[in-house]
Amino acid sequence: MTIEYVEKLYNRYSTFYDLLFGKVFHNGREIASELLDLFPGAQLLEVGIGTGLSLPLLPRNIQVTAIDLSLKMLNHARKRIGALNSHHVQLFKMDATQLEFADNSFDRVLATYFISTVPDPIKVILEMKRVCRSGGYLVFLNHFHYEVPVIGSLEKHLSPLFYRIGFRTDLNLQELMEQTGLRIETLEKIDFLGHWKAVRCVSPD
């Protein structure tokens, strides 16, 4: 799956994205806002902001920079920013594998239900790590490969099918951490069965 394919796909999804993924994943967004542990004046980057569903849960005394590959998703996010009167948020159309920010630009970096939608998740995480200041938090909400062998095997077989509709089901959390040099500080289940997880890592020195 190419960057271009992902962009076209999520442009199509933009009109009904909130209906499908708003309430269903709201609990995870609440957990993420807690794990970010934001402070007044903090600089937050959200990669893959989509339609901006996380914005109502974020404090107004921080600076939010948010990116997405899909222009139509960003248009919906702009409308949400206007409705919330959120002048502390800046939006940019950008490829998360090539973040146009300097090293150590942000105190916190957030990716909500995003890492499994990109062709190269390792490259995205390395970019998130690059722009996050030492000691800052990187927070992920995502579905990760299930550890029970039977279910995990099924997820691997189904992943190519799901990948065609915009996300993969075979991401291995531990392998991602090893390949990107990150260490899990906090890990929480989002759903009852633990298919979806909230992960917080501390940006290393």
Over residues 97-113, the pLDDT tens digits come to 999 999 999 999 999 99
The whole-angstrom separation of Cα 8 and Cα 78 is 19
Nearest to 113 by CA among 178, 194, 189, 48: 48
Contact indicator for 49, 25 with CB cutoff of 8 Å: no
* pLDDT for 39: 97
* pLDDT for 36: 98
Q: Which of 4-8, 94-98, 111-115, 140-144 has the lowest mean pLDDT?
A: 4-8
Q: Give percent of the chain above pLDDT 70.
A: 86
Q: Give percent of the chain above pLDDT 90.
A: 68
Summarize the confidence of residues 20-38 as an average pLDDT. Answer: 92
Domain boundaries, the chain: 3-202
DSSP 8-state class, residue 137: E
3-state SS, residue 68: strand
DSSP 8-state class, residue 205: -
> pLDDT band at 147, cuts 50/70/90?
low
pLDDT surpasses 80 at 157: no
3-state SS, residue 195: coil
* pLDDT for 148: 55
Summarize the confidence of residues 9-28 as an average pLDDT. Answer: 87
Kindly report the CATH number that applies to the domain delimited by 3-202: 3.40.50.150
* pLDDT for 3: 76
Summarize the confidence of residues 58-73 as an average pLDDT. Answer: 96
User: Average per-residue pLDDT in the chain?
Assistant: 89
* pLDDT for 178: 96
pLDDT surpasses 80 at 24: yes
Output the pTM of the full model: 0.88
Summarize the confidence of residues 173-188 as an average pLDDT. Answer: 95
pLDDT surpasses 90 at 2: no
